[in-house]
Chains A and B, each alone.
Chain A
Amino acid sequence: MSAGLTARRVARLGMLGGMGVIYLALVGMVQTFDGVRLVGDQVTLGRVLLILPPLSAAYVLARPRIVAGEAVKPDGRAALVGGAIIGVTGGALVGLSIVVANGLPERFAAQKIFTSVTPALISVVTFDRAIAPGIGMLVVLATVAGAAGAGLAVLGWKIRRPLITGLLVVLLLSMLQNVFRVMIGQLGLDTAWLYSVRLGGLTYIGAILTFAVPAGISAFWANEGITLRQRLSGATREGQRQVRLLAVAAVGLLLAVLPFLLGSFLSAVLGRVGLFLLMGLGLNIVVGYAGLLDLGYVAFFAVGAYAMGVLTAAANSGSSIHVGMGFFEAVPIVVLLAAVTGLLIGAPVLRLRGDYLAIVTLGFGEIARVLVTSDALKSFLGGAQGLIAIPAPSFTIGGLNVDFRDPQPFYYLVLVFCVLAGFVSYRLANSRIGRAWVAMREDEQVSEVMGVSTVRYKLLAFATGAAVGSVSGALFAVQIGSLAPTSFNILISIQALAIIILGGMGSIPGVVVGALVLVGIPGFLTEFETYQLLIYGAVLIGIMLYRPEGLIPNVRRTRELKEEDRLQDAWSKGAPDAEPATISWEEAPG
């Protein structure tokens, strides 16, 4: 019982699993995603959501627990039974609520409170059957899912990883079918073997293939990968350098040819990812490096966009100022303007730290939004009607007209600025300035005593961050071609913040991953658009609770957030199967 397979825990996890399903149903996800057919016409994303919570709960139950620094693996058979019980409990809870929701008289009908509770939802959760057999099926499925979840945890990672890889590939290919079907079609390849237009999801053969092939590769990699990694780490310094160079070259090549592989829609999504990546890089300097929480980063985005708009727009743009500059001439002016704005915002708040800084910058963000909307500045910035007729740079090579508003050329434009910003961030982080920022972030007073001018480095962080953010805004203006003030709200600031939190504060690869996950995935999957902010919220909470250093942590930052020794301790004592333990704040020495 030291592995935590107590009846109480099983019951609690079962209830949690059931409540998870009920939550997903009430919030509308189950029904919305029932329209997303994954495999054939029976397996929909909505139905997967019905069994996912019990599955996860059972997985949590059967995971090795760290008790006093030791990873204790639960007994396999007991875990399976526990998982199945979780499934039954969860399924029964959901079934009970279906009966209640269905049985209440009109006057108390749950749909008067919960807009998602409709006959359509009931028929989704009962698999288009009558109530009793539907619930029966739900309970059976949940039980199977519970057992499977526990099984997944009990199995060794050499089996678990290929299974999950295969499932993820199937999920990805089926959810993105609108995108991949078009893409594969554009390459002139046949899609009928993979996607069934009639059924709306993957074909059964396609599903099996797309599961088996990646799973096989993953299993192979699991065995060979270790040897490869060992050989790599055993290689000479020079050899490692070469491998790294090779990897960089491969990534560079991939980035260069990506738009041709992906087609215009995916390139447009990548362009958008690039815009947020730029913002993330800029905010990363302010928050990640210098430790100044800026909740009003949208202000710089707005400055960049509107400055670019006013400087380059045609005479009928809605602004009384007509400059008519070219994009590339305007960029330096925009950047300079933003840097000055950064200084102006930074100067008065220098004495503030942490929470106070957050509210003041939030205020600045709101001020920026109100000002671009306002009638007071309407003659310059267009007011509520916004600015139109912002040109995109274009040129002609050999009869081929390249317009940077088109998704593919725009991708390259953004890529250039992202690489530039990434390079600047990287150099800054590893310079004297970067070290000063770290010192300031760790302890402002001590760093001052050590001779770091906090005034100067704070202002520098604000100005650099502002400059990078403004480039993102300028590119946004070019991409859309017209500006509306409603685009510049606080959610942009929070989105940028979520990106660097997910990826890992202070980590450039982290920002890239954060932007890809948080902007890329919702961009590909329009169904997620409705739930994007909900998911952002969940991501922020989840990351802060379970992995505060982010997905791809900055090495130094990790040391701040976690106590390294304890981590190693847990790792060295744990069974080979144990994942790095998550250490809660309560246990960590304050």
Chain B
Amino acid sequence: MMTRGTADVVETSEAPAELGRLSRFPVRRVVQWVVGVGVLLLAAYGTYETIQLGRFSGAAWRDLLVFGVAQGAIYALIALGYTMVYGILNMINFAHGEVFMAGAFASYFVARTLQNSGFLQSNPVVSIAILMVVAMAGSVGVAVLLERVAYRRLRKAPRLVPLITAIGASLFLQNTAKGFFGPQTRGYPTPDVLGGTWTVLGIPILRTQVIVIVGAILAMVGLIMFVARTRTGKSMRAVAEDKEIASLMGIDVDRVVVTTFAIGGMLAGIAAVLFTMVFQVVGPFMGFIPGIKAFTAAVLGGIGSIAGAALGGLILGLLEAVGPSLFLTGLGVKGPNQLKDVIAFSILVLVLIFRPGGLLGSDEAEKV
């Protein structure tokens, strides 16, 4: 979290608020605590009842956890794109979900061709490497284009301006893809080798999920190394700290910003291939929901922090997978899995009430 960003999000001091008439009695704090504790108690009661019910076997809980981690890994990868851009520019690139979609579509057409020629099945590893490169190229292209055409002029604008532009870009890209490629979802061919399970630490885990989790970890480690070790990474940190001083120190701010968008795009491209390996579908609107979820994950973990994005993604994935069964089944709620988004967003609100900067938001050391 960078200093300026923190100041904007968190009320700097409690003292001036005391001047307001309502604030003499800390109504807000009391309400917030009541709401927070109430929700926690309800969740605890639901959990207790669910466990009493004995509906779920131990294996089922274990599977749910694994599903959650795998889903969380994808969210985390996309969330990194949000968090990097935020760290540098203090803006939320709402269209990042569409950057992800662009990567998926770019690799889709190559995957079809590879499938038709039989190469995909005969050389799965090479194929996936090719698809990764194509997806990254597609995502990076769209991300950089977005920065150049839409965001660059807005760097000094009031904060809502770039955010609204990004919302517009998101709609525009979704519907462009719809116009270009048709509105329907399409099946994404994947190598047959990826079917079935591998046994990891005695637990059978779907091969796609193993790849997703490992892939996400590798990408994140790579990113952290890049930011910490390389020259470009250092200039990125400098620009995040203070653009003007960085430019005085001879850092080309424009280039750093473009690099940031490009790296976010690369991660989105990786996430796109991992996503399509698991779900095997692509469509023009595929990026919107994962984008919003990843955005949520980034905020949950503390936007601007790489570790925060990873943590936020993981928590969000777990909440979605385990939450409905754990909290709601015991309460006798009908159709609990339908409500997974309600759980996810409620937790987000709760976290932000108590930690307005997100879970790792105030961790100075981790910021980009």
Chain A positions within 8 Å of B, measured between CB atoms, are 23, 26-29, 112-116, 287, 291, 293, 295, 347-356, 358-360, 362-364, 366-367, 370-371, 373-376, 378, 444-445, 448-449, 451-456, 494, 497-498, 501, 531, 533-534, 536-541, 544-545, 548, 560-561, 584-586, 588, 590
Asked if B165 and A353 sit within 8 Å, CB to CB, the answer is no
A222 to chain B, nearest CB (A): 33
Task: List B contacts of A364 (CB < 8 A).
Answer: 345, 349
Known: A355-B92, A455-B20, A455-B28. A531 touches B163 (CB 8 A): no
Q: CA separation between A356 and B353, bound complex, in Å?
A: 11
Asked if B160 and A545 sit within 8 Å, CB to CB, the answer is no
Kindly identify which residue among B109, B159, B164 contacts A113, using a CB–CB cutoff of 8 Å. B109
Kindly identify which residue among A371, A533, A541 contacts B342, using a CB–CB cutoff of 8 Å. A371
Asked if B352 and A353 sit within 8 Å, CB to CB, the answer is no
Which residues between 150 and 194 of chain B lie within 8 Å of chain A, taking CB atoms? 150, 152-165, 167-176, 178-182
| Nearest B residue to A350, CB-CB | B28
Asked if B181 and A541 sit within 8 Å, CB to CB, the answer is no
Between-chain CB contacts (< 8 Å), 9 pairs: A28-B179, A348-B352, A351-B353, A355-B159, A366-B341, A367-B341, A370-B339, A448-B17, A588-B156
Asked if B164 and A26 sit within 8 Å, CB to CB, the answer is no
| Nearest A residue to B296, CB-CB | A359
Task: List A contacts of B32 (CB < 8 A).
Answer: 347-348
Kindly identify which residue among A116, A366, A501 contacts B164, using a CB–CB cutoff of 8 Å. A501
Q: Of A112, A359, A585, which is in contact with the most chain B CB atoms at under 10 Å from its CB?
A: A359
Known: A29-B179, A362-B292, A585-B153. A536 touches B334 (CB 8 A): no
Asked if B153 and A376 sit within 8 Å, CB to CB, the answer is no
Task: List A contacts of B333 (CB < 8 A).
Answer: 376
B155 to chain A, nearest CB (A): 6
Known: A116-B180, A585-B153. A451 touches B19 (CB 8 A): yes
B143 to chain A, nearest CB (A): 15
Q: CA separation between A347 and B179, bound complex, in Å?
A: 42
| Nearest A residue to B112, CB-CB | A112
Interface size on B, residues (CB 8 A): 72
B18 to chain A, nearest CB (A): 9
Which residues between 4 and 45 of chain B lie within 8 Å of chain A, taking CB atoms? 8-12, 16-17, 19-23, 27-28, 31-32, 35
Known: A355-B92, A355-B163, A445-B12. A544 touches B168 (CB 8 A): yes
Q: CA separation between A452 and B23, bound complex, in Å?
A: 11
Asked if A537 and B335 sit within 8 Å, CB to CB, the answer is no
Asked if B172 and A538 sit within 8 Å, CB to CB, the answer is yes
Asked if B356 and A356 sit within 8 Å, CB to CB, the answer is yes
Which residues between 256 and 270 of chain B lie within 8 Å of chain A, taking CB atoms? none
Asked if B170 and A537 sit within 8 Å, CB to CB, the answer is yes
Asked if B8 and A585 sit within 8 Å, CB to CB, the answer is no
Q: CA separation between A27 and B176, bound complex, in Å?
A: 6
Kindly identify which residue among B9, B12, B23 contacts A455, using a CB–CB cutoff of 8 Å. B23
Q: Of B158, B165, B167, B338, which is in contact with the most chain A CB atoms at under 10 Å from its CB?
A: B167
Task: List A contacts of B35 (CB < 8 A).
Answer: 347-348
A508 to chain B, nearest CB (A): 19
Asked if B20 and A353 sit within 8 Å, CB to CB, the answer is no
Task: List B contacts of A548 (CB < 8 A).
Answer: 157, 161
Known: A537-B171, A586-B155. A359 touches B180 (CB 8 A): no
Q: CA separation between A548 and B153, bound complex, in Å?
A: 12
| Nearest B residue to A379, CB-CB | B334
Known: A351-B356, A448-B19. A585 touches B156 (CB 8 A): yes
Kindly identify which residue among B10, B160, B172, B182 contacts A541, using a CB–CB cutoff of 8 Å. B172
Kindly identify which residue among A293, A453, A531 contacts B19, using a CB–CB cutoff of 8 Å. A453
Kindly identify which residue among B9, B154, B174 contacts A354, using a CB–CB cutoff of 8 Å. B9
